[in-house]
Structures are given as structure tokens and as C-alpha cells.
A and B are shown apart, each in its own frame.
Chain A
Amino acid sequence: MTYKVTEEGNISTVFLQGEIDMDVTDKAKEVIMPLVEAKKEVHLNLKDVQYMDSSGISVLIESHQKANELGTKVILKDISKSVLKVIMMAKLEQVLNLG
């Protein structure tokens, strides 16, 4: 997994790329959670994420819940077909912010 972060005002956009599985969830959290904790509105661009498993979904849930707790939000952008399918399989399309 690789990533790039851009900032515009209070919005941080994290462009994730590659496969997100148990092996890289710590790395993904290290990128996303400090932005959430800084109360940024975090946009996760998932266009180039070809694979995500339950560990990756857990990162999405954890960051979403932390953002809610801190009064900000995490919005999932440009979700790839394969990731959307896993989100729907987990019945999270009404829970997470899909933008």
C-alpha cells in the first residue's frame, strides 16, 4: 500500500493505493488517525485500492467512529468497485460516509 496526502483548508485527502489487508492496516491507521485526531475532515480516496479485506474495513469503521466522536467526518471518495463490494457485503453503505 502506498499513499499521498493533500491538504486544502480543513480537508485532508488521503489517496490510498494498492491492497489493504492485515499486513498494512497499522500503516493505514498511522496515516489516517492523526488527521482525524487533528479534527480534519478526512477524505479517503479509494479509486486505486484494488483489494480490501475485513482488516481494511475495520480501519474505515475505526476512523469513521473516531471522527464522529470528535465532531468531524471521514468521507470515502471514488470508491473502487471491489472495495464497494466489500463495504456492501459488510452492510456498511448506510453507516459510512460515501461521497
Chain B
Amino acid sequence: MNISESKDFLVNSASLKEVRIFSREIFEKIDINEDLKDELVLAIAEAAQNIVKHAYKNIDSKTDKMEIKISLKDSELEIGFFDKGRPVDTANVRHRKIDDVKPGGLGTFFIQQIMDAVVFKEGEKPWINHLVLTKKI
């Protein structure tokens, strides 16, 4: 089964629930187990949260949107995130040391645990950032 669906979301924390609903609806169409669906929804929500938290840190926009595109082709799942926030400095994208227990820094760790690859690209206009998560399913 091949799938390609995308949706825009306002960049704020209240959108994260909608992001999860959108993602889950797509994964319900794919023959994968429930645990994997939960993990993929978590990875997508964490990536969207990072856009709200980091790319839009101190940017007060009530109108900017991010786009999430979920594609499946030949068992290769690709999830694209597009935003117009602050350019991501990939050198700063890292999770905390997992045995240094403190609040924060786990979202990126979850994403890396769940997905096969996490790649930041320069966004093509009008986008600033383009994050691509992939996983063979």
C-alpha cells in the first residue's frame, strides 16, 4: 500500500493532539501492530513538539503553520516536517545523556530510538526547516 498525506497545523502546543490524531488515522490504514503505531505517533508528536519548543522559541506567532507529510512507499515510511521558524542548528540537536536523569532532553532520544534515520534539510521556500524521519516497516 502506498500513502501520501499531508496536513498543516498551527505552531502551538494545543496542535499536538491534532497531530497525533492525524498520524494515528493514517497508521490505522497500514497493516502494522499497535505498539509500532503508538511509537510512530509518539515520534511524530515529539518532532512537532520540538518545532513548537525550539524552532519557535520566543517567536510569538499565532498564525504560522507547520506542515507534516506522511508517505509510505514500498514499506519505506517517510515523515516530513516543514516549518518557518528559526533555522535549526543541527550541532545543537542532541538528547541528554540518558543516565544523567533530569527533566527535558528526551524527545530527540525517543525519535532516534523509534526511527531508522533522522535528517535535517534546508527547507525549500517558503519553508526554513525540513526534517525527514524514515523507517522501514
**Which residues of chain A have a CB within 8 Å of any CB of chain B?**
19, 21-23, 51, 53-55, 57-59, 61-62, 65, 82, 85-86, 89-92, 95
A62/B13 contact (C-beta < 8 A), A51-B20, A90-B109 known: no
Contact A22 B113 (CB under 8 A): no
Task: Check if B102 is an interface residue, CB within 8 A of chain A.
Answer: yes
Contact B14 A92 (CB under 8 A): no
A54/B13 contact (C-beta < 8 A), A86-B42, A91-B98 known: no
Across the A-B interface, the 4 shortest Cβ-Cβ residue pairs: A58-B103, A54-B106, A23-B13, A54-B107
A and B contact pairs by CB, cutoff 8 A, 18 listed = A19-B17, A21-B13, A21-B17, A22-B13, A22-B49, A22-B53, A53-B46, A53-B49, A54-B46, A54-B109, A55-B107, A61-B102, A65-B103, A85-B35, A85-B38, A90-B106, A90-B109, A92-B101
- Residues in A with CB closer than 8 Å to B104 are 54, 58
Contact B103 A89 (CB under 8 A): no
Residue of B13, B20, B52 with most partner-chain A CB within 10 A: B13
> B interface, how many residues as a size bin?
20 to 34
- Residues in B with CB closer than 8 Å to A54 are 46, 49, 104, 106-107, 109-110
- Residues in A with CB closer than 8 Å to B40 are none
> Within the assembled complex, what's the spacing in Å between the Cα atoms of A82 and B45?
15
Contact B49 A21 (CB under 8 A): yes
The dominant DSSP class at the B interface is helix
* Chain B residues numbered 81-126 whose CB sits less than 8 Å from any CB in chain A: 98-99, 101-104, 106-107, 109-110, 113
Contact B103 A61 (CB under 8 A): yes
Contact A53 B42 (CB under 8 A): yes
- Residues in B with CB closer than 8 Å to A89 are 110, 113
> Within the assembled complex, what's the spacing in Å between the Cα atoms of A43 and B103?
19
Which of B35, B38, B45, B102 is within 8 Å of A21, CB to CB? B45
Of all chain B residues, which has the CB nearest A86?
A: B42
A22/B101 contact (C-beta < 8 A), A82-B38, A89-B110 known: no
